[in-house]
Chains A and B, each alone.
Chain A
Amino acid sequence: MALDIQPSVTGTTGRLKLTGQLDGASAPAVRNEIEHLLTQKLDRLVLQVEDLTFMASAGLRIIIFAKQRQPQLKIYVVKPQEPIIDTLRKTGFYDAVYVQDTDPGDEASVN
């Protein structure tokens, strides 16, 4: 199946729920959504990938793009499937992002 992208923003947390397959054909759409999200003041980008069944290196390049745009951005990868975890480990991305089983939630505003 192609890729379905559902973006949302809550406070300073941007989220992209990705369903389907992320490859060279679908990557530009993801990059466009991230570019749009980063026009807002975000501290965190949460990639919800529980239903992402395939991710090529194009997905990794998107993560690099986001970090180069905003070096202080914390990137979370939530519930990746095992083959995608393997890709993240092989390429050194696993320790550079926050891989977790649950959504980090929204940051409480600090007064």
Chain B
Amino acid sequence: MTERSFEGTLDSLEPIRDYVAEQAAEAGMDRSPIYKLCLAVDEIATNIVIHGYEEAGLSGDIIVQIIASPDAFEVQLWDHARPYDPNLHEQQSDTGLDLPLEDRRIGGLGILLAKDSVDKLDYVSTPEGNVHSFTMLLKQAGTASNGSEAT
């Protein structure tokens, strides 16, 4: 397991993506699943910063833990912000996706993308902090089951 701590601000979004991408590439993941994983992590990290810290009048870090195994690559985001469970917040539904753009809701797109981009997205709030876990299943070396590239 490796981990790195980042300030819980929007300026950390790109460094967080870079760190996750670098670790995923070292684990042998291909570019497409890496992008999807980084997108999911970025969407949730953005919510942590904006809704968990800023809107709650709090400040703190986001700790990124990487757990790589032959079968799966997992990223955990730990924070001490206001709890924000992505499963409890309404994401844009399939019916809403057909609406004209000017009638679309602004919110919910990030959670939709995050859930759709990884094989598993879990959340738990503990006394030690809130944890979002993103899992990409590795079917074989260099591919992930979500958005896997044919070899």
B43: chain A residues at CB < 8 Å are: 56-57
Once the chains bind, are B104 and A64 in contact (CB under 8 Å)? yes
Say whether, besides A64-B104, A92-B97, A23 and B112 are in contact (CB < 8 Å): no
A58: chain B residues at CB < 8 Å are: 46
Docked pose: A56 CA to B35 CA in angstroms: 11
Contact with B along A35-73 (1 / 0, CB 8 A): 000000000000000000010111011011101100100
Q: Does B25 contact A (CB under 8 A)?
A: no
A90: chain B residues at CB < 8 Å are: 112-113, 116
Docked pose: A21 CA to B14 CA in angstroms: 8
Say whether, besides A25-B10, A64-B106, A96-B100, A91 and B35 are in contact (CB < 8 Å): no
Once the chains bind, are B101 and A93 in contact (CB under 8 Å)? yes
Q: Does A12 contact B (CB under 8 A)?
A: no
Once the chains bind, are A23 and B42 in contact (CB under 8 Å)? yes
Q: Does A104 contact B (CB under 8 A)?
A: no
Once the chains bind, are B50 and A24 in contact (CB under 8 Å)? yes
Once the chains bind, are B97 and A24 in contact (CB under 8 Å)? no
Instruction: Name the residue of chain A whose CB is nearest to the CB of B94.
Output: A92
B11: chain A residues at CB < 8 Å are: 25
Q: Kindly provide the distance from the CB of A27 to the nearest chain B CB, expressed in whole angstroms.
A: 9
